[in-house]
Amino acid sequence: MLRKVLTVTAVTLLSLAGAALPVGPATAAVTGVAADPTPAAPKKLFTIRDQRVDESSGLAKSQKYEGIWWTVNDSGDSARVFGINASGKVKAVLEFKAPVKDVEAISVDRDGTIYIADIGDNRSTRDTIEVYTIPEPDELTDQSSVKYRRYDFAYPDGAHDAETLLVEPETRRLYFVTKVSRGKGGIYAAPEESSREGTNDLTKIAEAPSGITDGTFLPDGKQVVLRTYVDIATVAWGEKPNVVARAAAPLAQGESVAVGPTGSKSVLVGSEGQNSAVYQMPVPARKPAAQPSATPTPKPAAADTTEPKKNHNLRWIVIGAGLFALIITVVTFPPGRRERQDRQAENDRLTGQAPPTSHSRRRTPV
């Protein structure tokens, strides 16, 4: 009876050893949803219907006149700037007699100086690029011969095509963003104070996304918005500018971006071509961090790595106990009566003797 008990005990212990092993890593659902406020949809602000503005390739908010944005045509036009109101009507045309080649961008600093960037170079053959400056007029009327200043710049690593000029609000330092169809473009800084004598050497300070067609500093000077044909990107400005948010723009072939009526909260985006529409849209913002969950969160996975080791040790302990029980059962306890009878019967069969009955003892032959 004891032998049977030990045998059953050994089998039970071996079964428990298998059950004690983990079948796989534990998984837990992590809750907690980050609140991502839905930005306002872009809205059409105006359409430029003036036939003289047929290739709007830049847009900049006026510092002197509320509700006025300055724009320029792409390559092929003469040296002139158009002042457009919030209804899309041209309120003033400023002409200056500079020998422009491929004007692609425009900007306005806090003092009301207009920067016209002659920086396009589709074939990358120009030794220098030029920026012309003129003052915002005292009256918002047409002017045919505005005095201008010219600044020449050269890249440190050869010619580049570019369509973006950035003017830092506080220092008025100039930055150029090159345009590439693949890979990375570059952000190049002008000297802290550009000179009108000789050529100003540019310095590359960072890489830029591909396909940049325009850009603008926001009024606080801490962020830049860059434009591609299909979207806009918010860039945190600093020693290493980096993109922090992007949003799709409502126009294909997008060519311009400017500070909107609400300052740092919105921008205007436009496209080239006749009767081009201009939309107002929010500045893309970084998504807020995920809020902690109200429900208890599971322990990190790393904290559970010791558990399989404990179960592993337990398994071998239980297996050892089971095997020990089997050995004790076999060695300690001799065969029972039925087993002795079976062995005796087999021995008698082999020796030719009749097996004894259950009611008589086997007699020893004389």
Q: Which amino acid is at 154?
A: A
Determine, yes or no, domain membership for 267.
Answer: yes
From start to end of 33-160, where are the E strands? 43-48, 56-61, 68-73, 80-85, 90-95, 103-108, 113-118, 129-135, 149-154
Domain count, the chain: 1
Determine, yes or no, domain membership for 209.
Answer: yes
pLDDT on residue 287: 74
Q: Which two tokens stand for residue 58?
A: 């830049």
Determine, yes or no, domain membership for 317.
Answer: no
Q: Which two tokens stand for residue 171?
A: 């220092």
pLDDT on residue 4: 40
Q: Which two tokens stand for residue 249?
A: 């723009």
pLDDT on residue 262: 84
> What is the residue range of 64's domain?
51-282
Average pLDDT, the chain: 79
Between helices 2-19 and 306-332, what is the axis angle to 10°? 160
Q: Which amino acid is at 169?
A: P
* Residues 151-188: tens digit of each pLDDT: 999 999 999 999 999 999 999 999 999 999 999 999 99
| Rounded distance between C-alpha atoms, residue 316 and residue 133, angstroms | 84
Q: Which amino acid is at 221?
A: G
Q: Name which of 266, 214, 251, 239 is nearest 71 in CA terms.
A: 214
Determine, yes or no, domain membership for 121.
Answer: yes
Determine, yes or no, domain membership for 350.
Answer: no
Q: Name which of 362, 342, 364, 366 is nearest 354 in CA terms.
A: 362
Distance of alpha carbon 366 from its chain centroid, rounded? 105
At 62, which CATH number? 2.120.10.30
Q: Model-level pTM? A: 0.69
pLDDT on residue 134: 98
pLDDT in tens, the chain (366 residues): 444 434 334 333 333 333 332 333 332 222 222 323 456 789 999 999 999 999 999 999 999 999 999 999 998 899 999 999 999 999 999 999 999 999 999 999 999 999 999 999 999 999 999 999 999 999 999 999 999 999 999 999 999 999 999 999 999 999 999 999 999 999 999 999 999 999 999 999 999 999 999 999 999 999 999 999 999 999 999 988 999 999 999 877 789 999 999 888 999 999 988 999 999 999 999 876 655 555 555 555 544 444 444 444 545 544 555 554 444 444 444 444 444 555 555 555 555 555 444 444 444 443
- Compute the half-sphere exposure of residue 134: CA atoms within 13 Å on the CB side of its CA: 24
| Rounded distance between C-alpha atoms, residue 288 and residue 266, angstroms | 19
| Rounded distance between C-alpha atoms, residue 104 and residue 115, angstroms | 11
Phi and psi torsions of 347, nearest 5°: -70, -40
Q: Which two tokens stand for residue 236?
A: 């945190």
pLDDT on residue 26: 30
> Beta strand pairing status for 149-154 and 199-201?
parallel
Determine, yes or no, domain membership for 42.
Answer: no
Determine, yes or no, domain membership for 231.
Answer: yes
CA angle 143, 140, 98 (to 5 degrees): 30
Determine, yes or no, domain membership for 39.
Answer: no
